[in-house]
Amino acid sequence: MITCLEKVSPYCFKIPETYREGMRVPGIIYVDEQLLKLAENDKALEQVINVAFLPGIVKASFAMPDIHWGYGFPIGGVAATNVKDGFISPGGVGFDISCGVRLLRTNLVACEVAPLLKELMHELSRNIPKGVGKHGKISLDRKEMVGLLSMGVKWVLEQGYAWKDDIVYVEEKGCLSEANPDKVSERAFERGHNQLGTLGSGNHFLEIQEVVEIYDKHVAEVFGLFKRQFVLMIHSGSRGFGHQICTDYIKVMDRVVKKLGLELPDRQLACAPISSPEGKDYYAAMACAANYAMANRQFLTYWARQSFEYIFKKSAEDLGMSLLYDVSHNLAKFENHVVEGEEMRLCVHRKGATRAFGPNLLPKDSPYYKIGQPVIIPGDMGRASYILIGTAESEDEAFSSTCHGAGRVMSRTQAKKTIRGDELKRELAEKGAVIEAGHVSLLAEEAPAAYKDVSKVVDVCEGAKLSKKVAKLRPLGVLKG
């Protein structure tokens, strides 16, 4: 129990930097009273405190409303370090580097699709591999992998698996330019060359959804959303490739910590100066994993479009299957932000948190420059997902960051002990959701009861002015590993 919590507002609590010797900044947690209790029970607040020890950290160690225990950083953690003298930590990004979400629109109305939903889900399941270690339809040689890691979605476009407009609607236009494949281990190459176009397992999914509520009509129109619309959400990341890069560089960072004699409250916060060879190498490899993840979601989009074409006997273009946006929620990014009146170049770690730039903060050639960045928040199989938008206020709050999902309240092990996958599938079917899963027994890990209520989480984000609700989506069909 943290005894010194200060209630700043109904949606914000503060742990002062004087709470524990060695904290460089305070901890700021965006929650209400109910979510705060869940975070305390999970001991995730201890990780918020630990992150405040990170060398070069500025302003605060932040936590989003979906906060829960993670590796080093809490999931839902945000921390920015000064590029000049700060450190970078793989624990602030996570093992599934650039795990993220994209949303595809259609011009279909959900009730018109209902008779074909089971056929569509079966076709998607047939086309898209899912589950641990699954291989995709594409296997790249070394030269092809280097091209993809260097260019991201641009390389996928050159191979004919993307539309030209897709790139415009991907964060960073689908490529982190700092990527350097020379900084990636051979083991990572081995694990990644045949996993493109695969969902993976855990909380990754491809979900058919219906727009059931519009909260901001103007923004929804700009986003191309309307009530009862049939949309497609894809949630996946960098698969075994990104996991291997994180594993490799945690070992590197451990050696740096020992060499520098750094005292950290948790060895999982292993880090290196951003300007050091080790720090630069990690960022270059992490950027490769980000390009891989964005490319992976693009390949998934290609196979999804093909599935829709087969079932509806129309082209994906005629079905209006354009990309609304693709955004990552496990990344470290170099960004400019104002801290105490001074513009600074920062390395912003977002671990289970989403960038949420408000109006006029995206690049000027972005189609969303004037209104702000779309934020895509997946829920769980039995409840809702949301489309939000970044706010101007979020820049002052937490470096333009918001939540990334519902956030777990039950570990996967605990969920499997208390919930039966077959019973869950039957319950969801009774609610009208069609589930295609690689292993029914593993569905229990991702049961609604294992997560916080995503509606509560996004309400706190809106109350704290981190992001604003645009639309609510409900699941109709779910493809999971």
What does 289-342 look like in DSSP terms, one character per residue? HHHHHHHHHHHHHHHHHHHHHHHHSS-TTTTT--EEEEEESEEEEEEEEEETTE
Q: Which long-range contacts does 200-203 make (Cβ < 8 Å, 24+ apart)?
A: 200/130, 200/131, 200/132, 200/134, 200/236, 200/237, 200/239, 200/481, 201/130, 201/131, 201/132, 201/438, 201/442, 201/480, 201/481, 202/412, 202/445, 202/446, 202/481, 203/235, 203/378, 203/405, 203/446
- pLDDT at position 411 is 73
C-alpha pair distances (Å), 289 with each of 117, 275, 302, 374:
34, 20, 20, 22
Burial of 260 (0-12, 13-18, 19+ CB in 10 A): middle
Task: Report which of 3, 87, 103 is spatially closest to residue 45, judged by C-alpha positions.
Answer: 3
Number of neighbours of residue 268 by Cβ within 10 angstroms: 18
Active-site pick, 204, 337, 349, 404: 404
Residue pLDDT, tens place only, 249-276: 999 999 999 999 999 999 999 999 999 9
Q: For 159-238, where are the alpha helices, taking DSSP H only?
A: 186-192, 217-223
Question: To the nearest whole number, what is the mean pLDDT of the chain?
Answer: 93
Instruction: Give the pair of three-digit tokens for residue 139.
Output: 């296997």
Q: Which residues of 315-331 are buried (b: 16+ CB within 10 A; e: fewer)?
A: ebeebebbbbbbbbbbb
* 329 is an active site residue: no
Poorest-pLDDT segment among 95-109, 122-136, 294-308, 410-424: 410-424
pLDDT (tens digit per residue) in 160-187: 999 999 999 999 999 999 999 999 999 9
Q: What is the mean pLDDT of residues 307-320?
A: 97
pLDDT-derived band of residue 343, with 50, 70 and 90 as boundaries?
very high
Task: Summarize the confidence of residues 440-454 as an average pLDDT.
Answer: 76
CB atoms within 10 A of CB 145: 22
Question: Across residues 275-298, what is the average pLDDT?
Answer: 98
Which pLDDT tens digit goes with each residue over 107-155? 999 888 889 999 999 999 999 987 676 677 889 999 999 999 999 999 9
Residues listed for the chain: 481
Residue 244 near residue 389, CB atoms below 8 Å: no
The string of pLDDT tens digits covering residues 240-251 is 999 999 999 999
> Poorest-confidence range of 87-101, 190-204, 210-224, 253-267?
190-204
Q: Which two tokens stand for residue 319?
A: 């079905």
> Which residue blocks in 28-79 are alpha helix, DSSP H?
33-42, 44-51
The pTM of this model reads 0.95
What is the distance of C-alpha 434 from the center of its chain?
A: 24
Q: From residue 203, how far is each of 102, 279, 450 by CA, in Å?
A: 14, 29, 11
Domains of the chain in sequence order = 6-82+101-480 (3.90.1860.10)
Listed as own residue / partner, the contacts of 133-139 with beta carbons closer than 8 Å and 24 or more positions apart are: 133/240, 134/195, 134/198, 134/199, 134/200, 134/438, 134/481, 135/194, 135/195, 135/198, 136/194, 136/195, 136/196, 136/197, 136/198, 136/299, 137/197, 137/303, 138/194, 138/196, 138/197, 138/299, 139/193, 139/194
When comparing pLDDT for 334 and 433, which is higher? Answer: 334
- With vertex at residue 195, the alpha carbon angle to CA 191 and CA 197, rounded to the nearest 5 degrees, is 160
Q: What is the pLDDT of residue 457?
A: 96
Q: Is the pLDDT of residue 389 over 90?
A: yes
441, pLDDT greater than 70? no
Of the pLDDT bands very low, low, confident and very high (cuts 50, 70, 90), residue 438 is: low
**Residue 46 CB: number of other CB atoms within 10 A?**
18
pLDDT confidence of 22, banded at 50, 70, 90?
very high
| Beta strand extents in 2-150 (DSSP E only) | 6-9, 12-15, 27-29, 57-68, 75-82, 87-88, 100-104
User: Which two three-digit tokens encode residue 345?
Assistant: 């170049």
